[in-house]
Chains A and B, each alone.
Chain A
Amino acid sequence: MSQGILVIIEHTDAKVNRISLEALTGAQKLGAEMGQSVFAAVLADDCSAMTGELSSKKLDKIYALSNPLLADYTPDGYTIALQQLIEKTDPAVVIVGYSYQARDYAAKLALRCGGAMMSDCIAIQADSGNITLTRQVFAGKFNADYSFSGDGCCFISLQAAAYNADELEAGTAAVEGFAVNLDSREIRTTVLESFEGTKKDVDLAASDIIVAIGRGLKEEENLEIAEALASAMGADIGASRPVCDDGWVGADRQVGSSGQTVSPKLYLSLGISGAIQHVVGMKSSKYIVAINKDPHAPIFDIADVAVVGDLFEIVPKLTEAVKAAK
């Protein structure tokens, strides 16, 4: 009988990533509901910094998978190493944060282990041993509940901020080395250089007011409507990914899972529907005003003020009113 919940830890510059601390928090809560122990696994050439950081958390054990071939992340290296750990420890549940890295290997690992993965979940519930997972579908318009009925291990990836890392329980955790049997010829990916993208000309994380634009603006020429409002309010322009992809504004203005995470005093969105990928980057804004013609736009669910209407009519009038009010 499979036992325990295993959390796979992700790290950057020898520090555990926040999304993994959130995953551990989710695992602790699920562990308490199911009466199951919680384990963590760290993969690196030298795991000591990360296992040291985690040893003060309430965990049953931390497995350190130290191997020079795990110095750089590769999907093959991680899959082979973790498959060996999972076959040995036989967990009932494996949890990872839904990071770019997890997107790359977690589904492959689940299949390799004879299990299946539910990705990008926002909540896990356990009712007398039965696991129900909630995730957002149709770009956040609806939620979907899935029950797990598989024979193998249940793999779950958790959306950023699904659980609050500040609620991670402290305690002690023993560290145990796990020897990985890995051959460089099994790793098909050759990792070359990493580099930073184009330099930023705005740091939205530091902005007090953001006027954010989405596809609802329809054409690049309409950008000036948003710019006039931003200028009147002393705001910076932010954007959803599609607008950046189309080149209307630079990628440094992108808010969301693949861009910036922001929490300004005011986030005023124009024609953004509120797909999950966008919302995770701005939902902690202090005050959210959303203007959208679709009354069912998911952005309204997290807005303080929902304006259902035509932004082309409302925004120019708003700009004039802001100027008059200042």
Chain B
Amino acid sequence: MKIAILLKQVPVKDAMLELNDSGNWIEEDDVQFEINDSDHYGLAEALNIAKENEGEVTVVTMGPDRVKDSIKQALAKGAHRAIHIDDEEVSSSDPLTCAKIIAAAIKDENFDLILSGLQSDDLGFGQTGVLVAEILGMPHATLVVETEILDGKIKVKRELEGGWFQNVELPLPAMLSIQSGLTDIPYATIKGIMMAKKKPVAEVEADDLGVELDGGAFKLEKIYTPVKSKETTVFEGDADTIVAQLIDKLKNEAKVL
């Protein structure tokens, strides 16, 4: 069974992000990057399925050179090989363009299963996996928390709203976007890290895939710090002073003491 995991690299969770001078992206120079949160769960699920079904897991990642670190990490955790779609501009392009590029890069692989995380923590469109499925003519399911491979099909448990779940079946090949939570994330072992160095990483140039990189139907005009809608009192500095000020607020404004 051939399984792909679409993996995105995003700024680390507690990165102090600043806007760039032109106000159309963040200043990336001093920012560290990591594997997107829900993609970790997608990778974990891909590895679980591969273990039980004699599968091979291919990491598919798009982005500049820095994404190679995330690819190495995924290979160290047990993925078998990787496809790196090299694109400097990818981070700011729209989900449909991203999906077209990814679909063009992997269409000849004939994956039985394509997994992604639910959404990225940077732009959070939550569309790329679904669009790749549509382009490649595959059925899909989103918000998946459990999977079970059956004969020629896959049964998945999907998270619904309000604490409900649903089971559905899809014929293979299929695409699933994985919700975070209900599986353990694997750690890279020393042996895994050693072995990762020998695993194949195919390099593909996004420009060579014949996809028009015009930014699609939506143009990013600007990124900016939101105007605050609420008046906020800020406390900082000495902890004892902060606590005294807080107690006053809790008594006289929140009225909970």
Contacts and interface: CB of A to CB of B under 8 A. Distances in A.
Contacts of B200: none
Contact of B218 (A118, A193, A208, A258): A118
Contact of B124 (A115, A137, A251): A137
Interface stretch (A30-38, A54-62, A170-178, A238-246): A238-246
A313 B239 contact: yes
Contact of A321 (B19, B140, B232, B243): B243
Contacts, number: 252
A147 B221 contact: yes
Most A Cβ at <10 Å: residue of B134, B180, B247: B134
Contact of A142 (B226, B232, B243, B257): B226
B90 interface: no
Most A Cβ at <10 Å: residue of B95, B130, B167: B130
Given A146-B219, A318-B243, A111 B131 contact: yes
A150 B218 contact: yes
Given A192-B168, A309-B242, A142 B224 contact: yes
A308 B232 CA distance: 12
Nearest to B246: A318
A196 B164 contact: yes
Contact of B141 (A104, A111, A117, A275): A104
A143 B218 contact: no
Interface stretch (A39-47, A183-191, A220-228): A183-191
B251 interface: yes
B131 A309 contact: no
Contacts of B257: 233, 322, 325-326
Most B Cβ at <10 Å: residue of A99, A141, A192: A141
A195 B165 CA distance: 5
Nearest to B251: A325
Nearest to B135: A111
Nearest to A245: B181
Contacts of B143: 100, 103-104
B256 A266 contact: yes
A304 B253 contact: yes
Contact of A305 (B219, B222, B232): B232
A289 B127 contact: no
A15 interface: no
Contacts of A117: 127
B187 interface: no
Interface stretch (A1-9, A20-28, A161-169, A294-302): A294-302
Contacts of A245: 180-181
A188 B170 contact: yes
Contacts of B13: 215, 273
Contact of B161 (A100, A308, A326): A100
Nearest to B224: A143
A82 interface: no
Contacts of A273: 13-14
Given A154-B217, A273-B13, A144 B222 contact: yes
Contacts of A133: 218
A289 B126 contact: no
Nearest to A149: B219
Nearest to A99: B161
Contacts of A308: 234-236
B217 A116 contact: yes
Contacts of B22: none
B220 A144 contact: yes
Contacts of B169: 189-190, 192
A104 B17 contact: no
A136 B223 CA distance: 9
Contacts of B181: 241, 244-245, 251
A196 B163 contact: yes
A108 B131 contact: yes
B69 interface: no
A90 interface: no
B11 interface: yes
A22 B26 CA distance: 31
Contacts of A200: 163
A289 B19 CA distance: 26
A303 interface: yes
Nearest to A234: B256
Contact of B217 (A115, A137, A193, A289): A115
A147 B218 contact: yes
Interface in A247-287: 251-252, 258, 265-266, 273, 275-276, 286-287
A119 interface: yes
28 contacts: A76-B139, A104-B140, A104-B142, A107-B134, A108-B131, A115-B217, A119-B95, A119-B126, A137-B123, A137-B223, A138-B121, A138-B122, A142-B225, A143-B223, A145-B220, A145-B223, A146-B221, A188-B170, A189-B169, A193-B167, A197-B165, A258-B161, A265-B256, A294-B14, A294-B16, A304-B233, A307-B236, A317-B240
Closest 6 CB pairs of A and B: A150-B217, A188-B139, A287-B254, A116-B217, A107-B127, A192-B167
